[in-house]
Amino acid sequence: MKLVHDPIHGHIELDDFAVGLVDTPEFQRLRRITQLGLAFLAYPSARHTRFEHSLGTFYLAKRITEHNPEIEEGAVYAALLHDLGHYPFSHTLEALYPRHEENTKWFIMHGEIGDVIGERYSVREFLKLLKHPLVSGDIDADRMDYLVRDAYYTGVAYGLVDLDRLVRNLLWRDGMLVVGGKGVMAAQNLLLARSMMYPTVYQHHVSKIASAMLITAVELEGIPSDEIRTMDEVDLIARLRASERAEVRELVRAVDDRRLYKRVLYSASDPGVDAVAELRRELEAEFGHLVIVDYPPKPKFEEKNAFVETERGLKRLSEVSPLVRSLVELKDTHWRWGVYARADVRERVERFLRAFFD
Amino acid sequence: MKLVHDPIHGHIELDDFAVGLVDTPEFQRLRRITQLGLAFLAYPSARHTRFEHSLGTFYLAKRITEHNPEIEEGAVYAALLHDLGHYPFSHTLEALYPRHEENTKWFIMHGEIGDVIGERYSVREFLKLLKHPLVSGDIDADRMDYLVRDAYYTGVAYGLVDLDRLVRNLLWRDGMLVVGGKGVMAAQNLLLARSMMYPTVYQHHVSKIASAMLITAVELEGIPSDEIRTMDEVDLIARLRASERAEVRELVRAVDDRRLYKRVLYSASDPGVDAVAELRRELEAEFGHLVIVDYPPKPKFEEKNAFVETERGLKRLSEVSPLVRSLVELKDTHWRWGVYARADVRERVERFLRAFFD
Amino acid sequence: MKLVHDPIHGHIELDDFAVGLVDTPEFQRLRRITQLGLAFLAYPSARHTRFEHSLGTFYLAKRITEHNPEIEEGAVYAALLHDLGHYPFSHTLEALYPRHEENTKWFIMHGEIGDVIGERYSVREFLKLLKHPLVSGDIDADRMDYLVRDAYYTGVAYGLVDLDRLVRNLLWRDGMLVVGGKGVMAAQNLLLARSMMYPTVYQHHVSKIASAMLITAVELEGIPSDEIRTMDEVDLIARLRASERAEVRELVRAVDDRRLYKRVLYSASDPGVDAVAELRRELEAEFGHLVIVDYPPKPKFEEKNAFVETERGLKRLSEVSPLVRSLVELKDTHWRWGVYARADVRERVERFLRAFFD
Amino acid sequence: MKLVHDPIHGHIELDDFAVGLVDTPEFQRLRRITQLGLAFLAYPSARHTRFEHSLGTFYLAKRITEHNPEIEEGAVYAALLHDLGHYPFSHTLEALYPRHEENTKWFIMHGEIGDVIGERYSVREFLKLLKHPLVSGDIDADRMDYLVRDAYYTGVAYGLVDLDRLVRNLLWRDGMLVVGGKGVMAAQNLLLARSMMYPTVYQHHVSKIASAMLITAVELEGIPSDEIRTMDEVDLIARLRASERAEVRELVRAVDDRRLYKRVLYSASDPGVDAVAELRRELEAEFGHLVIVDYPPKPKFEEKNAFVETERGLKRLSEVSPLVRSLVELKDTHWRWGVYARADVRERVERFLRAFFD
């Protein structure tokens, strides 16, 4: 047994099997994958990594399991490994490559960590547990950890959640984690916290612009999936800095120096996929890598599906809490798409956009 | 004016001149210099950087200056830049290269940041301010920030200091920062905090072993000072991973994977410089890079020199506080030197040491 | 100048005039008026008083004023005194007596504190400042302090507010405090915090039942307004314990021992004022003080009226934030009225209610 | 089972037997006994009570017992009740009456709470558990709770202790709680915290003067032990306010209004018991209740006796930690005795003292 100090949960206990998993190169790589990608350009202190978050998720999963002994034991270790496959800068590059969940499976099938798992479980069976409700449910250990952790590291007040109350009131019913009656307020609070972290931190425009620049650099560099999958942030940045293409070197340098592209357009009104595609083509033809169109998918808000145990049976959280209903309705409020340009071409791009939308 | 979110101080205000300094590549590089070097191998959450610490030091320096208007204005910006020259992993590599203070001067004389300074100050005069008591005194803004910040990021309870009380009671007297009567308890607390952070965090054996391994790798790689001085952690790690020497690649790989050398000897009794030098020679001849001798300098404890303003004039803090006197006497208590070896040669090294010291 | 330690704001500075106000018997009496009344029966640690809250409100008012120099200076001292007239157990007894604001005026006109005010201000003019937007606006220093303070003392996670961000973004415009653009998220967060503290803490059923019992005791004892107005909690409880009426002694004893009446009815559906009045009459005739009808007013939600400064002029917060709009719509969600009975008559009362509503 | 919200420990679980104990009038009375007596006159927010502290001690005792199953179960409930007998304002009146431990026994033998205990234990056996090492050892659940709690409520930074680390490393060996090797730093930190809380909070001069005034009032009023023993703070203050003796009324009024006596003498040099006794007689003859001599006992520092489990067997903590040794040597540093006088006789008393010590 080993104890790890953690500012969020105090001390996290790792049993011998967990220590075995953590001590593999695949898991140690998570120390070099920033939890919030480039958000540190907006919140300098947001330097925490997928490593700590994975340990924290394991801790919460274990606590939930303690009072729900029907949950199969392996699910707790799956919680520990649920983010194993993240690319450098976490979600940033998922726009270009398969989702990180695919990569997690790949690591387990091809890495040392698979051997450790194999000592106790069938790897094949274990892979299924990666989608266990403990980490892929609507209200789960994963979300509980990252909200509180991201708030702690950014210093933002909005991520506070009554973890203890929520943990105690997550109940295992028919293969689902449902919220017990005394946990509804805490569950609602988790969703509120998330809805406030979303525009403040997760979709901060500084982070979005820097991410768009990094994505463009990686795309130009043309790194194949089977190369990027095992990279950490040192590998990726070093590769881009040493690129043969001047645009790539320029982009990564600009991200390093926080000399970011400027917002020429930043709008909540959605012109539609086709218009955006056309705009992107035309802008690229005219300006190359000096202009980037950022058209992110609309946020999902799946937590509304969380179930609550009431006197009259299971109900959806959004049925029970009018505030959650509002959150669902409001989920698109903070969505923005944007056009970002290097400072020196800003005005030309402005004129171009005016002409385009005329 | 710009506001930066900070979990320690709330919001840090940067005036336009400070923004100009922060926006240079030299200052942005600090985002990629970890505050506690390899301590994150013992405390996974200790991922904060010199960037945040520099902003925090600036914040405290400014607050101290607000009620001590005699302090020259430039000193506050010197506080912002006092750590500009740190090498990758902060103090770790100072064993091999000139102290980081030298490097800070070099950046100011040769980087863009010098031009920004030059807009308002004589660079020559500014360089002198880098030794200003605000950051190089016995109790200063630098130490106040790092203790509290390091405690926050490691999650260790021992670094708590009553910053507000201390800031209010630091007084400018004859070119020195002295502690006012109502701040003695807070100043004493700062020293206690430091004395407890020292063995718990700063000298944690995991961190010491990993550092010794990294130093060995860099030494074997033979990176000249004028190359290392501008590197960030990406540059350094990428360079070592791509080394032509297998030992270098092996060492950095081991640090990455946290497959650390084992302690064969770890002792508080000092055999003397000469014996250690001889041991090092012999071990190197026999084992090469597989064994490392770690013989750190004894800790200094300069804060005892801090002055306190009492009714009977200025006194040294150690005169006023018997507890501080004890701390001075105890300062060597936690000093250790060690011999670390790769797991597979551990027993051979044990035999070797027994023979050597016989 | 004097410094007061405060867990919420660090150190609160009191200038000499503020010290003069605080040092009067009228202000010191606030040390014996619990901030949350009988909420400590549900949250044992909620023992903070109007004294600390008044100092905290003063602190925030002063900070707001620092960057809004147009606010008249006296308003800050009015903020210090805004709660001077609270009765024992704060809002609990306002059901029986004039609102505490009336009592504040009375203290200022008849107490030593009026003399202190008179040294610097016209008392007549000062009285008007008690309604200053700093403490009676929609988003103000009063609410900001109590939410954060109540959360700290109860240990409830929901009261966290980004005070610093909000303070910096409260702007004085045409005799109003309005929220600047960068404070909208923080203001919205304040309202969310309040909406979650409301059912969790402020309307906790334990607190409501105990309050109803205390109100009944005071009513039976028949304490006239001009006696209660100067009482503190020692005076009131001692008086009730020494009552000549056995029912009064029994009720206060039950509150002391936390042997509370039970909920026979607790409902969100409002039968209307008349039905409740009739029920109350009949229950009293049948059961006397053994049954209490608790029919509280519906919650107000005035913060929706707060103004926000946008590019297109002042807008109401509820126009700008859909989430605030939802809060307004939901404000009655947690309202409940109840019938509480001593444990031994509970069943009889249940039958009575069934007959009544049939 | 019941959950109580607590800002220090999160949620405290009370099993049915503990609920039975807590629900007695004797235990509920602790809600009206302030933890730090009159310290709130120096630290306004220090309004917490023996009630919360008792629950917190129970919580820690239970956690320690969880990994030391040899500890007898009843000790945990004894921990809950260890402070049951405190007089109004906690330790303040122990100068006049038997120690509160005696009173705890009396309550258990004569109160309802004895009946609850009797349902499961022999009361006679239970009484012995009140001295169990869990609450009367050198490092125990009692001290761990009060240090952290007092720091939280005063807002003083010095009481922070790594509770989790300490709890995990308290081991039951031969009828003692000893500190395991990995807990030494945390244990040392606890002692440091206590040594800093001592002068800052526990012996704050404001608290000492007010306490001396209250003691004098109670002494003049001549309340017999068998009356005071069941009083709460309401009873005591109401009794003093209604006293037939004007001096008593004046003293309690002065404490209420924080119009405290002034320090005419406040000294670290001890004139000896006899000189103080003579001085007290003479001052009383001359000034009556207008002057108070405060000659407190020297602080004990029993924690040095705590045992640590080392590789070479059990050692005293003071043997293992030089810093603890210093603390023992320094324990008298902050001791002061004083002569306090009503403001208007201050100068006369000064002259009197000069003559007396001449």
Q: Are strands D10-14 and C307-310 parallel, antiparallel or unpaired?
A: unpaired
pLDDT tens column, D324-352: 888 877 777 889 999 999 999 999 999 99
Task: Give the pLDDT confidence score for residue C302 in this predicted structure.
Answer: 65
Average pLDDT of every residue of chain A:
94
Average pLDDT of every residue of chain B:
94
**What value does the mean pLDDT take over residues C167-188?**
92
Chain B residue with Cα closest to A239: B238
Task: Assess whether pLDDT exceeds 80 at residue C211.
Answer: yes
Shortest Cα–Cα distance, A33 to chain C (Å): 29
User: Which residues on D lie below 8 Å from A164 (Cβ)?
Assistant: 10-11
Q: How far is the C-alpha of A99 from the C-alpha of A136, rounded, in Å?
A: 14
Is the Cβ pair C162, A185 closer than 8 Å?
Answer: no
**What value does the mean pLDDT take over residues A34-55?**
97
CATH 1.10.3210.10 residue ranges in chain D? Answer: 2-203+307-329
pLDDT tens column, C272-288: 999 999 999 999 999 99
Spelled out in words, what is the top-level CATH class assigned to the domain A2-203? Answer: mainly alpha
Task: Give the pLDDT confidence score for residue A300 in this predicted structure.
Answer: 77
Q: Among D1, D2, D3, which would you mutate to test the A interface (most chain A Cβ atoms within 10 Å of its Cβ)?
A: D3
Which chains form contacts with chain D, at 3 or more CB pairs under 8 Å? A, B, C
The contacts of residue B140 (CB under 8 Å, 6+ apart) are: B133, B134, B177
Chain A residue with Cα closest to C320: A333
**What value does the mean pLDDT take over residues C339-343?**
98
Task: Give the pLDDT confidence score for residue A304 in this predicted structure.
Answer: 59
Is the Cβ pair D154, C7 closer than 8 Å?
Answer: yes
**What value does the mean pLDDT take over residues C148-160?**
84
pLDDT tens column, D348-357: 999 999 999 9
Spelled out in words, what is the top-level CATH class assigned to the domain D2-203+307-329? Answer: mainly alpha
Chain D residue with Cα closest to C25: D257
Q: Among C162, C195, C301, C311, which would you mutate to test the A interface (most chain A Cβ atoms within 10 Å of its Cβ)?
A: C162
User: Which residues on C lie below 8 Å from D4 (Cβ)?
Assistant: 44
Task: Assess whether pLDDT exceeds 80 at residue A295.
Answer: yes
pLDDT tens column, D125-141: 999 999 999 998 778 99
Chain B residue with Cα closest to D183: B200
In the structure encoding, which two tokens stand for residue C28, read together? Answer: 């010191």
Of A189, A326, A327, nearest to C158 by CB-CB distance is A189
In the structure encoding, which two tokens stand for residue C90, read together? Answer: 């704060």
The contacts of residue C241 (CB under 8 Å, 6+ apart) are: C249, C252, C253, D234, D235
Chain B residue with Cα closest to A241: B235
pLDDT over 70, % of chain A: 99
pLDDT over 90, % of chain D: 81
pLDDT tens column, C53-109: 999 999 999 999 999 999 999 999 999 999 999 999 999 999 999 999 999 999 999
Task: Give the pLDDT confidence score for residue C36 in this predicted structure.
Answer: 97
CATH 1.10.3210.10 residue ranges in chain A? Answer: 2-203
3-state secondary structure chain A: CEEEEECCCEEEEECHHHHHHHCCHHHHHHHHCECCHHHHHCCCCCCCEHHHHHHHHHHHHHHHHHCCCCCCCHHHHHHHHCCCCCCCCHHHHHHCCCCHHHHHHHHHHHCHHHHHHHCCCCHHHHHHHCCCHHHHCCCCHHHHHHHHHHHHHHCCHHHCCCHHHHHHCEEEECCEEEECHHHHHHHHHHHHHHHHHHHHHHCCHHHHHHHHHHHHHHHHHCCCHHHHCCCCHHHHHHHHHCCCCHHHHHHHHHHHCCCCCEEEEEECCCCCHHHHHHHHHHHHHHHHHHEEEECCCCCCCHHHHCEEEECCEEEEHHHHCHHHHHHHHHCCCCCCEEEEECHHHHHHHHHHHHHHHC
Task: Give the pLDDT confidence score for residue B159 in this predicted structure.
Answer: 66
Chain D residue with Cα closest to A12: D164
Task: Give the pLDDT confidence score for residue B185 in this predicted structure.
Answer: 87
Is the Cβ pair A238, B234 closer than 8 Å?
Answer: yes
User: Which residues on D lie below 8 Å from B156 (Cβ)?
Assistant: 162
- Least confident range from B280-289, C253-262, D114-123, D292-301: namely D292-301
Is the Cβ pair B234, A257 closer than 8 Å?
Answer: no
Shortest Cα–Cα distance, C335 to chain B (Å): 36
User: Which residues on B lie below 8 Å from C164 (Cβ)?
Assistant: 10-11
Shortest Cα–Cα distance, D345 to chain B (Å): 26
Residue whose pair of structure tokens reads 């940041």 in the numeric block = B113
**What value does the mean pLDDT take over residues A261-290?**
96
Confidence of residue B43 (pLDDT cuts 50, 70, 90): very high
In the structure encoding, which two tokens stand for residue D194, read together? Answer: 């206590």
Shortest Cα–Cα distance, B82 to chain D (Å): 28
Distances (CA, A) of C217 to B352, C228, C246, C252: 86, 13, 10, 7
pLDDT tens column, B247-257: 999 999 999 99
Chain B residue with Cα closest to D190: B158
Shortest Cα–Cα distance, A162 to chain D (Å): 9
Shortest Cα–Cα distance, A8 to chain C (Å): 14
Which chains form contacts with chain B, at 3 or more CB pairs under 8 Å? A, C, D
Is the Cβ pair D256, C153 closer than 8 Å?
Answer: no
Q: Is B351 exposed, middle or buried (0-12, 13-18, 19+ CB in 10 A)?
A: exposed
Interfacial residues of C (vs A; Cβ cutoff 8 Å): 156-158, 160-162, 165, 185-186, 188-189, 192, 195-196, 199-200, 322-323, 326-327, 329-330, 333
Chain B residue with Cα closest to A149: B45
pLDDT tens column, B150-204: 999 998 877 678 899 999 999 999 899 999 989 998 998 888 888 888 888 999 9
Which chains form contacts with chain C, at 3 or more CB pairs under 8 Å? A, B, D
Of D6, D154, D256, nearest to C5 by CB-CB distance is D154
In the structure encoding, which two tokens stand for residue A237, read together? Answer: 């940045």
Task: Assess whether pLDDT exceeds 90 at residue D293.
Answer: yes
Task: Assess whether pLDDT exceeds 90 at residue B86.
Answer: yes
**What value does the mean pLDDT take over residues B82-94?**
97
Task: Give the pLDDT confidence score for residue A101 in this predicted structure.
Answer: 95
User: Which residues on D lie below 8 Å from B325 (Cβ)?
Assistant: 326
Task: Give the pLDDT confidence score for residue A346 in this predicted structure.
Answer: 97
Is the Cβ pair B189, D326 closer than 8 Å?
Answer: no
Of B28, B152, B256, nearest to A7 by CB-CB distance is B152
Task: Give the pLDDT confidence score for residue C336 in this predicted structure.
Answer: 95
What is the count of residue pairs from C and D with beta carbons less than 8 Å apart? 91
**What value does the mean pLDDT take over residues B121-136?**
95
Q: Among D2, D3, D5, which would you mutate to test the C interface (most chain C Cβ atoms within 10 Å of its Cβ)?
A: D5
Average pLDDT of every residue of chain C:
94
* B58 closest CA partner among B78, B80, B27, B73: B80
Task: Give the pLDDT confidence score for residue D159 in this predicted structure.
Answer: 66
Chain A residue with Cα closest to D165: A11
Shortest Cα–Cα distance, C63 to chain B (Å): 14
Interfacial residues of A (vs B; Cβ cutoff 8 Å): 4-8, 10, 23, 25, 28-29, 31-32, 40, 43-45, 47-49, 51-52, 55, 152-156, 232-235, 237-238, 241, 256-259
Confidence of residue C268 (pLDDT cuts 50, 70, 90): very high
- The answer to whether the beta carbons of residues A56 and A6 sit under 8 Å apart is yes
Q: Which fold has domain C2-177?
A: Hypothetical protein af1432 (1.10.3210)
* B106 closest CA partner among B87, B93, B119, B121: B87
The more confidently predicted of residues A330 and A255 is A255
In the structure encoding, which two tokens stand for residue D84, read together? Answer: 């049951």
Confidence of residue A318 (pLDDT cuts 50, 70, 90): confident
Spelled out in words, what is the top-level CATH class assigned to the domain B2-200? Answer: mainly alpha
What is the count of residue pairs from A and B with beta carbons less than 8 Å apart? 91
Interfacial residues of D (vs B; Cβ cutoff 8 Å): 156-158, 160-162, 165, 185-186, 188-189, 192, 195-196, 199-200, 322-323, 325-327, 329-330, 333
Of B3, B11, B164, nearest to C10 by CB-CB distance is B164
Task: Give the pLDDT confidence score for residue C188 in this predicted structure.
Answer: 87
Confidence of residue C267 (pLDDT cuts 50, 70, 90): very high
Query: Predicted ipTM?
Result: 0.95
Task: Give the pLDDT confidence score for residue C204 in this predicted structure.
Answer: 95
Of D157, D186, D200, nearest to B161 by CB-CB distance is D157
Task: Give the pLDDT confidence score for residue B38 in this predicted structure.
Answer: 98
Task: Assess whether pLDDT exceeds 80 at residue D300.
Answer: no
Of A3, A11, A164, nearest to D10 by CB-CB distance is A164
